[in-house]
Amino acid sequence: NYINAHGTSTPLGDFAELQGIASVLEADGTPKSQVPVSSTKSLHGHALGAAGGIEAGICIQAMQESLI
């Protein structure tokens, strides 16, 4: 399992996102410490409409290289 968060580094947005992630993991019975969470926007910025495609590509490459 891996979560690629929206992660735009806004205090309110990040807090709400982490609460949502924790809620889903708790409902599923998955320990929060066992699921890595990160965001790639700190590397490439928020590309608006292209952000999803960029982040999907990065995640695919990370899976191919067994990083996640």
Reading the block at residue 2, the tokens are 């891996």
Q: What is the pLDDT of residue 31?
A: 80
pLDDT of residue 63: 92
pLDDT, position 68: 86
CA distance 65 to 62: 5
What residues in the chain have per-residue pLDDT under 50? Answer: none
Q: Which of 50, 8, 11, 13 is nearest to 58 (CA)?
A: 50
| Per-residue pLDDT at 9 | 82
Tokens of 18: 């982490």
If one counts the domains in the chain, the total is 1
pLDDT of the residue at 47: 85
Tell me what pLDDT residue 16 has. 94
Domain with 17 in it: 3-64
Task: Measure the CA–CA gap between 52 and 68, rounded to whole angstroms.
Answer: 18
User: What is the helix, strand, coil percentage profile of the chain, to 5?
Assistant: 60, 5, 30
